[in-house]
Structure 1
C-alpha cells in the first residue's frame, strides 16, 4: 500500500536516511523502532506526503486513505469533544458538513428559488452519507471516546477546556473513528491509563487496515504487530515477528557481525605482518606485491553499531526498620468527591506494592499522603524509623532549573561527588558527550524524567515511591530502569500503566475499586491470574 524505495533524506547537516527501502502491505501491522532522533517522525511525514524525500520515492496505492496520529495535536476549541472527534473522521465528516449546510439552505426562505437544485443535491449527499455509514457515526464516536476513558460529561463538554493529555486522546479518537485504509500512529500509548491502553490494543487487533506505529510500551507493541521496521544509521531493516522476536534476531545478527569483523581483523593483521616482515626482501617481492593487491580488493566488514546502553548499579541503600509506612483510618475527599473512607494500609520492608485502579480511584493521592505532599482529612500516616524516602512524581520535572545544564544540575545536587562519578551517572541515564551541557529548558519530557530519576537514585533512598516513572521513557531506558530496580534492596510503592514494568517489579498489589480496597499477595502476574483481568476497570 505504501512503498519507500531507496529514499534519502537530510535534515540540516544530519543524514537521516541513505538509500533506505521498506514497504507496508495491505492488512499488515508493523512496529517502527529506532533510537530517539533516528527519524521515525520524518518517516511518517514522508509516508503521508507532508514532506518529500530528497532522493528515491515514496509510492502510495491510488485512492487509499491515510490517518496519521502525531504528538503535535494542534489547537482544539469551540466544539464539544464528540463534535471535535466526528469532525476529524475523514471523508464522512466532509459529507456530514455538506448535509448540514444543505439542510440549512432548505430551511432558508431567501433561497426558495434554489429549492429544486438543493433537494436534488440533498438526495445525492444523503445517499453518499448512508454509504459511508454516517448515521452510525455519532454512536461510534461515543463508543471510541468511552474506550479511551472519557466520561459522558467530558464527551459533551467543551474540548477547549481539556488538558494536553486529554486533547491527545481526542486526536487519537478522530483517527480511530475515521478507520482509514492505513493508520500511522506515533506513540498512541502515551497519556493512556491501563484500561484505555487495553481497549486500544483490542481495537487495533481487530482493525483490518494496515498499521504502522511507534510505542515505548513493549507489551502493547508485542500484542499487535507482526513485523518490525528498524531505523538504524540511516537504513531501514525489516524483521518478521513481534518486538520480542526482533530483539532476539537483532542480538544474533550483532553477534554474527562482531564475529565476522573479528575474523577479518585477525586475517588483515596476519597479512599486514607478512608484508611488513618481507617487504624489504627481493626474494619475496612478488608475494608481497600479490598480498598488497589482495588487501586493496578486500571489502572491509563493519563492526556492528554499538547501542549505547549503560547498566545503572545502585549504591546499597541504608537498611530501614521493618515497618516502613502505616496508614490508619484515612479519610480524604476533594470537594464532594470522597476518595478514601477509613483506609487502613501498611507497608513492610522489602515489599514492592503496585497500586491499581481506574482514573480518579485515588492512586496518586495515596502516594501523596505517604510522601507527606497531601494531608488526610482524618486518620494518621506514619513513616517508620530510619526510612529515607525518595519520591518520583510528574511535577518534579517542572521543578528543574531551566537555565542550569544537565551536568550543572547534578553538581548542584551532589556538591561532594567527583566529576567522574557524576559523568558516569549521566551516562547511565542516557546523557553522553555534549548532552550533559544541554540547558534543562530544552530537554524533552523523556530527558527530564531521566535526569530527575538519576538524581533520586544516585544517593539511594530505602523507600522508593514512584508515580508513573516510565512515562516519556523509551524502551531501552525502561529496560535499564527495570534492570536497576530489580537489583534494588529497598521497599517500593508505585503506580504504572506499563504491564512489563508491573510484572517485572511488583510482589504485592493494592487494588482501589468503588466497592473497596483489595490487597493481593504476589505481584501483578499473580493478580492477573487470580482476577482474570489486566486492570480493575475491565471487570464485568
Structure 2
C-alpha cells in the first residue's frame, strides 16, 4: 500500500534518513521506534504528503485514504465534541454537509423555482448517505468518544472549553471514526488514562486497515503491532513480530555485531603487528606487501551503535519509622462531589502502593493529601517520624524557572553542592554536553520531567509520592526509571497508567471505588489475576 524507497532527508543540519527503504502492506500493524529526534514525525509527514524527501520517493497506492493523528491538534471551538468528531469522518461528513445545504435550500423561498431539481438531488444524496451508513454516524461517534472517556455532557458541550488533553482525544476520535485504509498515529497513548488506553487497544486490534504508530507505552505497543520498523542512524530496519520480539532480536543482532567487530579487530591487530615487525626486512617484503593490500580490501565491521541511555543512581535514603503515613476518618469533597467519607488507610515502610480508580475517583487527591498539598475537610493525615518526602506531580514542572539553564536550576536547588556532583547528576538524567546549558523554558515535557526527578532524587527522600511520573518519558527513559526505582529502598505511593511500570514496581494495590476502598496484598499483576480486569473501570 505504501512504499518508502531509497529516501534521504535532511532537517536543517541534521541527516535523518540515508537511502532508507520500508513498506507498509494491507492489514499490517507496525510500531515505529527510534530515539527522540530520529525522524519518526518526519516519516509520518512524508507519508501523508506534508513533506517531500530530498531524494528517493514515498509512493501510496491510488485511491487509499490516510488518517493522520499527531500531537498538534489545532484550534477547536464553536461546535460540540460529537459534531467535531463527525466532521472528520471522511466522505460521509461531506455528504452530510450537502444534505444539510439541500434541506435549507428546500425551504428557501428565493429558490422555489429550483425545487424539483433540489428534491431530485436530495434523493440521490440521501441514498448515498444511507449507503455510507450515515444515519448511524452520531451513534458511532458517541461510542468512540465514550471509549475514550467522554461523558454524554462532555460530548454535547463546546469542544473549545475542553483542556488540551481532551482536545487530543477528540482529534484521535475523528481518525478512529473515519476508519481510513491507513492510520498514522503519532503517540496516540499520550493523555489517555488506563481505561481509555485499553479500549483503544481493543479498537485497534479489531481495525482491519493498515496501521503505523509510535507509542511510549510498551505494553500498548506490544499487544497491537505485528511488525516493528526501527529508525537508527538514518536507516529503516524491519522486524516481523511484536515489540518484545523486536527487543530480543535487536539485542541478539547487537551481540553478534559486537562479536564480529571484536574478531575483526583481533585479526587486524595481528596483521598490523606482522607488518610493523617485518616491514624493514627485505626478505619479507612480498609478504608485507600482500598483507597491506589485503587490509585495504577488507570491509570494516562497525561496532553496534550505542544507544544513549540514562542511568538513574539513587543515594541510599535515610531510614524512616515503620509507620510512614496514616489517614484516619478522612472526609474530602469538591463542591457537591464527595471524594471520600471516613477513609482510613495506612502506609508502612517499604510498601509500594499503586492507586487504582476510574477518572474522578480521587487518585491524585489522595496523593495531594499525603504530600500535604491539600487538607482533608475532616479527619487527620499524619506522616510518621523521620519521614522525608519527595512529591512528583505534573504541576511540579511549572516550578522550574524558565530563565535559568538546566545547570543553573540545579545550582539554585543545591547551592552547597559542587560543580562536579551536579554535572554528574545532570548526566545521569540525560543532560550531557551542551544540553546542560539549555534554558528550562525550551525543554520538552520529557526533559522537564527528568530535571524535576533529578532535583527530587539528588538528596533522596525515604517516601516517594509520584503522580503519573512516566508521562512524557520515552520507552528507554522509562526502563531506566523502573530499573532505578526497583533498587530504591524507601516507601512508594504512586498513580500511573503505564501497565509495565505498575507491574514492575507495586507490591500493594489500593483501589478507590464508589462503595469505599479495596486493598490487595500483592502488586498490580496479582490484582489483574484476582479481579480479571486491568483497571477498575473495566470490571463487568
Asked whether the 8 Å contact 2:332–2:341 carries over to 1, the reply is: yes
Partner residue in 1 for 2:518: 518
Give, in whole Å, the separation in 2 of the partners of 1:69 and 1:139: 22
Give, in whole Å, the separation in 2 of the partners of 1:434 and 1:411: 16
* Aligned-pair CA distance for 1:277: 1.5
* Aligned-pair CA distance for 1:307: 0.5
The answer to whether 1:145 aligns with 2:145 is yes
Partner residue in 1 for 2:188: 188
The answer to whether 1:370 aligns with 2:366 is no
SS at match of 1:401: coil
The answer to whether 1:22 aligns with 2:19 is no
Give, in whole Å, the separation in 2 of the partners of 1:447 and 1:313: 17
* Aligned-pair CA distance for 1:430: 1.4
Asked whether the 8 Å contact 2:310–2:477 carries over to 1, the reply is: no
Partner residue in 2 for 1:444: 444
Partner residue in 2 for 1:53: 53
SS at match of 1:202: helix
- 4+ residue segments displaced more than 3 Å: none
* Aligned-pair CA distance for 1:313: 2.0
Partner residue in 1 for 2:242: 242
Give, in whole Å, the separation in 2 of the partners of 1:113 and 1:270: 96
* Aligned-pair CA distance for 1:42: 0.2
| Deviation digits for residues 123-162 of structure 1 (CA, Å, limit 9, x no counterpart) | 2211221121111110000000000000010000000000
| Deviation digits for residues 79-121 of structure 1 (CA, Å, limit 9, x no counterpart) | 0110011111111111111111111111111111221221222
What are the within-5 Å matches in structure 2 for residues 220-235 of structure 1?
Answer: 220-235=220-235
Partner residue in 1 for 2:256: 256
Give, in whole Å, the separation in 2 of the partners of 1:21 and 1:116: 56
Q: What is the RMSD computed on CA atoms of the aligned residues?
A: 0.8
The answer to whether 1:125 aligns with 2:122 is no
What are the within-5 Å matches in structure 2 for residues 134-533 of structure 1?
Answer: 134-533=134-533
* Aligned-pair CA distance for 1:56: 0.5
Give, in whole Å, the separation in 1 of the partners of 2:292 and 2:49: 50
Give, in whole Å, the separation in 1 of the partners of 2:319 and 2:104: 74
Give, in whole Å, the separation in 2 of the partners of 1:116 and 1:266: 88
Unaligned segments of structure 2, at least 5 residues? none
Give, in whole Å, the separation in 2 of the partners of 1:257 and 1:421: 35
* Aligned-pair CA distance for 1:290: 1.1
SS at match of 1:56: strand
| Deviation digits for residues 330-368 of structure 1 (CA, Å, limit 9, x no counterpart) | 111111111011101110001100000011000000011
Give, in whole Å, the separation in 1 of the partners of 2:427 and 2:98: 57
Asked whether the 8 Å contact 2:315–2:460 carries over to 1, the reply is: yes
Give, in whole Å, the separation in 2 of the partners of 1:539 and 1:298: 62
Give, in whole Å, the separation in 2 of the partners of 1:129 and 1:441: 49
Give, in whole Å, the separation in 1 of the partners of 2:95 and 2:406: 52
Deviates more, 1:415-424 or 1:142-151: 415-424
| Deviation digits for residues 475-512 of structure 1 (CA, Å, limit 9, x no counterpart) | 00000000000000000000000000000000111101
| Deviation digits for residues 36-55 of structure 1 (CA, Å, limit 9, x no counterpart) | 00000000000111111111
Deviates more, 1:228-237 or 1:105-114: 105-114
Give, in whole Å, the separation in 1 of the partners of 2:432 and 2:220: 29
SS at match of 1:534: coil
SS at match of 1:18: strand
SS at match of 1:415: coil
* Aligned-pair CA distance for 1:310: 3.7
Q: Please report the TM-score for the alignment, with normalisation by the length of structure 2.
A: 0.99
Unaligned segments of structure 1, at least 5 residues? none
| Deviation digits for residues 238-289 of structure 1 (CA, Å, limit 9, x no counterpart) | 0011111111100010011111111111111111111111112211111111
SS at match of 1:311: coil
Partner residue in 1 for 2:77: 77
Deviates more, 1:255-264 or 1:30-39: 255-264
Give, in whole Å, the separation in 1 of the partners of 2:291 and 2:300: 15
Give, in whole Å, the separation in 2 of the partners of 1:116 and 1:50: 43
The answer to whether 1:44 aligns with 2:61 is no
Give, in whole Å, the separation in 2 of the partners of 1:426 and 1:120: 71
SS at match of 1:117: helix
Give, in whole Å, the separation in 2 of the partners of 1:338 and 1:4: 55
Give, in whole Å, the separation in 1 of the partners of 2:153 and 2:514: 19
SS at match of 2:3: strand
| Deviation digits for residues 184-230 of structure 1 (CA, Å, limit 9, x no counterpart) | 00000000000000000000000000001000000000000011000
SS at match of 1:510: strand
Give, in whole Å, the separation in 1 of the partners of 2:11 and 2:417: 39
Deviates more, 1:292-301 or 1:184-193: 292-301
* Aligned-pair CA distance for 1:423: 2.0
* Aligned-pair CA distance for 1:474: 0.3
SS at match of 1:313: coil
Q: How many residues align structurally?
A: 540
Asked whether the 8 Å contact 2:7–2:20 carries over to 1, the reply is: yes
Q: Please report the TM-score for the alignment, with normalisation by the length of structure 1.
A: 0.99
Deviates more, 1:277-286 or 1:376-385: 277-286
Give, in whole Å, the separation in 2 of the partners of 1:495 and 1:320: 22
Give, in whole Å, the separation in 2 of the partners of 1:86 and 1:10: 37
* Aligned-pair CA distance for 1:322: 0.4
